[in-house]
Every structure is written in C-alpha cells, then in structure tokens.
Amino acid sequence: MSETQRLSHAYILAGPEEARRQRSLTLAKTMLCEGPADRRPCGLCRSCRKCARGVHPDLQLVTRRTDEKGKLKREIYVDQIRELVSSAWILPNDGERKVYIVADAGTMNPAAQNAFLKLLEEPPAFVSLLLECDSADQLLETVRSRCVLEHVRGEETEPSAEARERAERFLDLAAAEARVSMLSFTNGLGDLSGQELTELAQAARGLLADMLCGRLPDRKMPRTRLMALSRLMDKTEEYLRFNVSPKHVLGMLSVEAFEKE
C-alpha cells in the first residue's frame, strides 16, 4: 500500500525543527501531488513544483506573528486558528485538496488549541492538517487524540545516559525471565513521555545490534531471542508514532519481552 493510500487527515509531527519541516513539506507534496498514486510526491508535476517554491495556493502556512520590532511572538493566538477554521471550508483553488501546516503548533495557547478541536475531529473531506512541534506533550490530550503522531528524527544522536540505563535494565530483566520485576520496572516508567519511551527503545535496539554483532555480551540469550527483542523495539516505536499511549506500550513491553520465537 502506498503512503498516499494510508494518509490521515491530521498529523502531529514532533521532533527537531528542520526534520519536522522537511517531513511536513513531504507530506504536503504527497497530498497535493498530481502524479501517479504510487509515485507521490513525484517532484515533477505542477503541484510539486509550486509546493517547492512556496507558491501553491492550496498549501497554507500558519505560524507565530511578529511584533512591531519584527520579533516572533511567543504564541499562536485563537484568532489565527479561527481564521484557519473559517478558510478550511472554502473549496481548493487548484486541485482536490487543501493542506494547512501549523508551524510551532506547540506554541498555540489553550484557547487556540480548543478552537481547533471541531475541525480536527470533523474536517471537510478535502482538508489535511499538519501540526509541527518539538514534543506532542506541548499539545492538549484532546488535540493529540484527534491526530496521527509521528516522532520525526533529525540526525542520529547518541542516546542519553538515562535512556541507555533504562534500556540496560529492560534487557537484563528480559534475559533473566524476571516477569514480576519487569512489571514493577515498567509500572515505574508510567510517567515517561512518548519521546522518552522512544529514546529507550532506540537505546535498546542499539544495544541489541551490538549484542548480535558480538560487540557486547549476549546476556546468555540466543540469537533468535535477540532478534525478537529488536523487532519488539521497532514495534514500540511504530506504536508511539501512531499515538498509542505510553502506558499501553509499557504494558505491551512487560508481556512481549518474554515471548519467544
């Protein structure tokens, strides 16, 4: 199935600024592309070229306004979102869709976020919404629940010491078949954000890769078990990208860490 066929009407793109901007532009091009469905965005059609130049009439950018000195204001205000909501019901100019990118969506004040809810829940069939932010935790739960969440990565970085320590503990408990201790451990991580849990999964996958390559001791786990745990880390990240709650994912980890091939 192509990405075009899987597209949702609303996304939260959380991550480093440059990475999320590139991802939102790619999604917008995909949604507006006039090329073959299995090759979108094609980068060649009139729509893709207009998106690249920033002149597509059906691609709208909402961002913080500037003050009288030209400095960006701290927030996106409710009147800006009300203007977006009103314009969203106007039919597209060029094609079949309209796409709105809300840059720095994490700066929307609570009133602005609440003004967004009805459109996020029941948008016109021709409207797509892309919300960029540093972390999904900046947005109200009522906003998050109406969107597909993608954690967008920038350049690969070393996991934090805390993420690596949690990953080491998870793998130790999995290797020891310590089910009760694992449940206690995952319950203790219940306050982690989706991003923090993603970092734990990334750190664990890095450790597993080193174990599979012989760079680290294998904790007396067979290769098939190491590979199964690595796939579990992939599944963890996928669930978090699609807005599954961290507590649900932790419950999954506490059970599936002991499933064998």
Give the pLDDT confidence of 123-177 residue by residue, as tens digits.
999 999 999 998 888 999 999 999 988 888 765 567 789 999 999 999 999 999 9
Chain-centroid distance of CA 177 in Å reads: 32
Same domain, 21 and 58: yes
Query: Is residue 221 situated within a structural domain?
Result: yes
Chain-centroid distance of CA 223 in Å reads: 31
Compute the distance between CA of residue 78 and CA of residue 252 in angstroms, rounded to an integer: 38
pLDDT band per the 50, 70, 90 thresholds, residue 82: very high
Which has the closest alpha carbon to 118: 202, 10, 13, 246?
10
Same domain, 196 and 123: no
pLDDT band per the 50, 70, 90 thresholds, residue 219: very high
pLDDT for res 6 = 57
Query: Is residue 156 situated within a structural domain?
Result: no
Q: Considering 107, 130, 151, which residue would you say is the last residue of a domain?
A: 151
- The total domain count for the chain is 2
Structure-token pair, residue 120: 């996020």
Same domain, 219 and 126: no
Same domain, 178 and 143: no
Q: Considering 151, 170, 201, which residue would you say is the last residue of a domain?
A: 151
Q: Which residue range forms the structural domain that includes residue 79?
A: 3-151
Query: Is residue 31 situated within a structural domain?
Result: yes
pLDDT at 241 over 80: no
How many helical (H) and strand (E) elements, i.e. helices and strands, does the chain have? Answer: 11, 5
Radius of gyration for the alpha carbons in the chain, expressed in angstroms and rounded: 21
Sole residue written with tokens 């078949």: 177
Same domain, 206 and 169: yes
Q: Tell me the whole-structure pTM to 2 decimals.
A: 0.62
Structure-token pair, residue 133: 């932010």
Contacts of range 204-213, beta carbons closer than 8 Å, 24 or more positions apart = 204/167, 204/170, 204/171, 204/229, 204/233, 205/230, 205/233, 205/234, 206/159, 206/167, 207/164, 207/167, 207/168, 207/171, 208/171, 208/233
Compute the distance between CA of residue 206 and CA of residue 159 in angstroms, rounded to an integer: 9
Q: Classify 146 as helix, strand or coil.
A: coil
